[in-house]
Structure 1
């Protein structure tokens, strides 16, 4: 399979025609068209440049995707979870790095919509839905059991944040970052400006894949944020108890990578396996989601191997679709992982007993 024929096959499927407003079409078809026309053809160049271009995020915003989970009154699409998952899958099939940056923004929109106080919703939600402002997340370091990696304390009309967040995506591309910080047994979710300064420093993370996502370690040293930027507060125990319920959407990244592989390989038994893995994610309850997530990541890893084999010797050339996809599949084996997901993956990959 040549590189050109691979891209032509990936472009197969309905899309958005010239002059057609993606906002008023089926968002899944619009995502498929945008991935085929822009994201997939430019994915290698994006990786080589080391940064997702702002123009890619502009195109996503123009298509209405920055407000996909936002309410209609703020200019959002108010999409249902199944539609959101399918859009993530289609975009990830085109370019994982761009989708990875955008997905963090979508999480902030959803959390602001569901838990934000009226004044923060009024100040930020419409701009975030339109893509006039873009947001990232710095959450997981404060949500792990054990000693907090990042703490918050109140000082008059300000919140003071201290600690480090090892994985923050989109630095330099986002205007705001939603930071989770511990205050005793509670977790505070704070909307901070994403600007380097004396109390906020970012160190690039060298990554084997999606390096263009501009993922950094973020260190906060006495960083002050107005108390009015507090989105909400929740007990850590409640967040940990409900963590599994939020695992479904990240699974769409693995599904998107596998979808890319199936389209490039052509009709094969992988098509039915992809449908089964997708159904497993869609139907799993909270208790079953870690296993379903592991199944998706393991399948994407195996599908990428099939793509390498189907492509042949050109797959080992740096920058080829197959080579990049194999590295991205390895990345998704650990992205957003949890102990239960890791344990299940080790079983599926033959490194532990079932």
Structure 2
């Protein structure tokens, strides 16, 4: 493991988790969280070494994401979107845009978010029309996290003529063509500042386009993103195991940790096959719910107090059931939770 993994673990244990209840209560992530991640070099983890990033191998990247997710889920979910945009820009053939933004993204001086969900469904929620020197977007992005926190947003839309997926960078806030921004109050991780966006006539010039890919290529990239999202329930699960271990439930903690390790292996094995990956993601989310339930049960009635980490972990686990979900993932989870154990 690299020093960045150790840094992520230290920040999660000493900065993020001790403040997680306050973040949940106030609905605000302090700027000091972002600064701690930036100072540790954790804003650039998705960038290759050739562009000034650490060039991490997948196990280290996964370990970092799991640690941050186990520290503060709201912080992790907002911050993980940044790496989707950074990875896309790092691989972009638009070298001028890449060279303009990537150094600031790596340093954490520029914070990025993504809005790709509008391009995933068929028919798409977000469409792109070719115009001279650019693209005009229209449609709806149902969940965009980090509004008011991020500086730039990578928006994906479907070219109505070819079915290709267009991704471009726009300022996050006050952009002509974003006609409505509606807050989406959440019962957990509300500090992610999640909104929905309505778009009508959002123009993205060619020089701000990150990529144009086929739908097959786009969905392949989504598979990798889905693997990264699989770190969220594992991070919550491992934090639950730590809580149980600290309470003297060492056998329970060890069993949950072993289950998390097994799910992680299945997530990695599923990188090349989306059906396997989504099944493993469902197993991870179900494990997080089970682990959090063990923490609640062990804490007893005190777990119902707003001051208890147990109730926050239980709600965090629920969040992982639906975050970055897909119909197949939803189906698998419903089947798991409704299946008779008799």
Give 2:294's aligned residue.
Answer: 306
CA contact 2:305–2:311 (8 Å) conserved in 1: yes
Give 1:18's aligned residue.
Answer: none
Give 1:17's aligned residue.
Answer: none
Whether 1:80 aligns to 2:66 is no
CA contact 2:41–2:107 (8 Å) conserved in 1: yes
Whether 1:317 aligns to 2:305 is yes
Compute the displacement of 1:320 (Å).
2.1
Tell me the secondary structure at the aligned position of residue 211 of structure 2: strand
Name which of 147, 153, 161 aligns with 2:123.
147
Compute the displacement of 1:158 (Å).
3.5
Give 2:34's aligned residue.
Answer: 57
Structure 2 distance, partners of 1:81, 1:91, is: 16
Give 1:181's aligned residue.
Answer: 157
Compute the displacement of 1:341 (Å).
1.6
Give 2:174's aligned residue.
Answer: 196
Q: How does 1:168-247 map to 2 (within 5 A)?
A: 168-184=144-160, 185-197=163-175, 199-200=177-178, 201-240=180-219, 243-247=222-226
Give 2:242's aligned residue.
Answer: 263
Give 1:295's aligned residue.
Answer: 283
Compute the displacement of 1:279 (Å).
2.0
Compute the displacement of 1:138 (Å).
0.2
CA offsets, 1:84-134, max 9 Å, x none? Answer: 111000111110000111100011111111234211111111111111101
CA offsets, 1:288-339, max 9 Å, x none? Answer: 1111111101100111100100111111112421111111111111111122
Give 2:315's aligned residue.
Answer: 327
Tell me the secondary structure at the aligned position of residue 276 of structure 1: helix
CA contact 1:346–1:352 (8 Å) conserved in 2: no
Give 1:157's aligned residue.
Answer: 133
Compute the displacement of 1:350 (Å).
2.3
Structure 1 distance, partners of 2:176, 2:88, is: 28
TM-score, normalised to structure 2, is 0.91
Compute the displacement of 1:34 (Å).
0.4
CA offsets, 1:239-284, max 9 Å, x none? Answer: 3466434421111110000001000011222222222222222233
Q: How does 1:112-123 map to 2 (within 5 A)?
A: 112-123=89-100
CA offsets, 1:14-72, max 9 Å, x none? Answer: xxxxxxxxxx9611111110011100111111122212222211111111011011123
Structure 2 distance, partners of 1:241, 1:263, is: 34
Structure 2 distance, partners of 1:272, 1:320, is: 25
Tell me the secondary structure at the aligned position of residue 333 of structure 1: helix
Name which of 249, 252, 273 aligns with 2:259.
273
Name which of 330, 333, 338 aligns with 1:345.
333
CA contact 1:67–1:106 (8 Å) conserved in 2: yes
CA contact 2:233–2:320 (8 Å) conserved in 1: yes
Tell me the secondary structure at the aligned position of residue 104 of structure 2: helix
Give 1:6's aligned residue.
Answer: none
Please identify, of 231-240 and 285-294, the stretch whose mean Cα deviation from structure 2 is larger: 231-240
Tell me the secondary structure at the aligned position of residue 66 of structure 1: coil
Name which of 209, 232, 247 aligns with 1:253.
232
Give the 4+ runs in structure 1 shifted more than 6 A: none
Give the total of aligned pairs. 329
Whether 1:94 aligns to 2:71 is yes
